[in-house]
Structure 1
Amino acid sequence: MTKPMNKVLKAQFFVDDLSDDQKNVITNINAYIKQGLTGKTSSVAIIEGAAGTGKSVVLMELVRQYMTDKRYKTSLVVNHPELYKAYREMGSAIPNMNVSTIRRPTSLINYAQKNHEKYDIIFVDEAHLLYSKSEPYAHYRGQNQLTDLMNLAKVVVVVYDFDQVFQSKMYWDKKLLFKTIGNHPYKQFDMNFQYRMVASDEQVKWMNDLTEEKPIKPFPDNSDFEFKVFDKAGEMFEKIKEQNKKYGMSRMVATSGFPRIDGRHNVEMDTFNLPWDEWDPQRTPWAKREGSITQVGTIYTLQGFDLNYVGMVIGPSFGYDKETDTMTVIPEKYSHKEVFKKRKDIKFSRDEYKAFIANVLNVLIKRGKYGLYLTAYDDALRARLLELNETGK
Structure 2
Amino acid sequence: MEYKIDTYDFDKNLKNEIENNDSINEWPVVYMIHGKNEMYIGETNDVNMRMNQHLSTKERYTKLNRVNIISNEKFNKSAILDLEALLIEYISADGRYKLQNRNGGQSKNHKYYQKDMYLDSFENLWKQLMEKKLVNHTLEEIKNTDLFKYSPYKTFTNQQNSIVKSIINKILNDHNSNHKNFIIEGGAGTGKSVLAVYLVKQLTDIFKEKNIDVNIALVVPVKSLRKTYKEVFGQIYGLKKSMVVSPTETFKKDYDILIVDEAHRLKRRFGLTNYKSFDNNNKKIKDENGTELDWILNNSKYSIFFYDRGQSVLPSDVRSSQFRKIMTKDNIYKLDTQMRVIAGDEYINFINELFKDNNLYRLNQYSIKDYDLKLFTNLDNMINSIKKLDDEYGLCRIVAGYSWDWKTKELTYKEAIEKDIYDIVIGNTKLIWNKKDEDWINSENSINEVGCIHTVQGYDLNYVGVIFGKEIDYIDGHFVIYKDNYKDKKGKLKATEISLKDYEASLKEYIIKIYKVLLSRGIKGCYIYCVNPGLREYFSKAFDIASH
| TM superposition score category, shorter chain reference | 0.7 to 0.9
How many angstroms does 1:265 deviate by? 5.0
Counterpart of 1:241?
387
1:209 alignment partner, one of 353, 366, 372: 353
Q: State the one-letter code of the partner of 2:167.
A: I
1:337 alignment partner, one of 475, 480, 489: 489
* Structure 1 vs Structure 2 CA RMSD: 2.8
Kept in 1: contact 2:464–2:522 (CA 8 A): yes
Q: Secondary structure at the match of 2:529?
A: strand
Kept in 1: contact 2:406–2:433 (CA 8 A): no
Counterpart of 1:301?
455
Counterpart of 2:278?
140
Kept in 2: contact 1:43–1:186 (CA 8 A): no
How many angstroms does 1:288 deviate by? 1.6
Q: Which has the higher contact order (CA 8 A, sep 6+)?
A: 1
1:209-358 residue pairs with structure 2 within 5 A?
Answer: 209-216=353-360, 217-218=363-364, 220-258=366-404, 264=421, 266-280=423-437, 285-321=439-475, 323-324=476-477, 326-342=478-494, 348-358=502-512
Q: Secondary structure at the match of 2:331?
A: strand
How many angstroms does 1:212 deviate by? 3.7
CA distance in 2, matches of 1:287, 1:137: 30
CA distance in 2, matches of 1:232, 1:218: 24
Give the unaligned 5+ runs of structure 2: 1-36, 40-91, 96-141, 283-289, 408-418
How many angstroms does 1:359 deviate by? 0.7
1:160 matched to 2:314? The reply is: no
Shift of the 330–225 alpha-carbon distance from structure 1 to 2, 3 Å rule, reads: same
Q: Secondary structure at the match of 1:148?
A: helix
CA distance in 1, matches of 2:147, 2:366: 31
> How many residues were matched structurally?
376
Q: State the one-letter code of the partner of 2:250.
A: L
Q: Secondary structure at the match of 1:17?
A: coil
Deviations, residues 261-280 of structure 1 (Å, cap 9, x unaligned): 99945222234321111335
Deviations, residues 270-320 of structure 1 (Å, cap 9, x unaligned): 343211113356xxx211223100111111111100000000101111101
Counterpart of 1:114?
none
Kept in 1: contact 2:197–2:218 (CA 8 A): no
More off after superposition, 160-169 vs 331-340? 331-340
2:262 alignment partner, one of 119, 126, 139: 126
CA distance in 2, matches of 1:186, 1:140: 32
Counterpart of 2:216?
74
More off after superposition, 124-133 vs 302-311? 124-133
Percent of aligned pairs sharing the same letter:
27
2:316 alignment partner, one of 169, 175, 192: 169
Deviations, residues 176-223 of structure 1 (Å, cap 9, x unaligned): 2133x39x9960011111111011433222211223445243594442
Shift of the 186–388 alpha-carbon distance from structure 1 to 2, 3 Å rule, reads: closer
Give the unaligned 5+ runs of structure 1: 112-116
1:178-217 residue pairs with structure 2 within 5 A?
Answer: 178-179=324-325, 181=326, 187-216=331-360, 217=363
Kept in 1: contact 2:373–2:544 (CA 8 A): no
Kept in 2: contact 1:165–1:356 (CA 8 A): yes
Shift of the 138–127 alpha-carbon distance from structure 1 to 2, 3 Å rule, reads: farther
How many angstroms does 1:47 deviate by? 0.9
Kept in 2: contact 1:13–1:56 (CA 8 A): yes
Q: Secondary structure at the match of 1:169?
A: coil
More off after superposition, 252-261 vs 352-361? 252-261
**Higher gyration radius (CA):** 2
Shift of the 28–343 alpha-carbon distance from structure 1 to 2, 3 Å rule, reads: farther
Q: State the one-letter code of the partner of 1:288.
A: N
CA distance in 1, matches of 2:278, 2:495: 16
1:20 matched to 2:168? The reply is: no
Shift of the 315–337 alpha-carbon distance from structure 1 to 2, 3 Å rule, reads: same
2:244 alignment partner, one of 102, 116, 122: 102
Counterpart of 1:386?
540
TM-score, normalised relative to structure 1:
0.87
CA distance in 2, matches of 1:154, 1:48: 21
Q: Secondary structure at the match of 2:313?
A: coil
TM-score, normalised relative to structure 2:
0.63
Kept in 1: contact 2:437–2:455 (CA 8 A): no
Shift of the 242–202 alpha-carbon distance from structure 1 to 2, 3 Å rule, reads: same
CA distance in 2, matches of 1:358, 1:381: 13
Shift of the 122–33 alpha-carbon distance from structure 1 to 2, 3 Å rule, reads: same
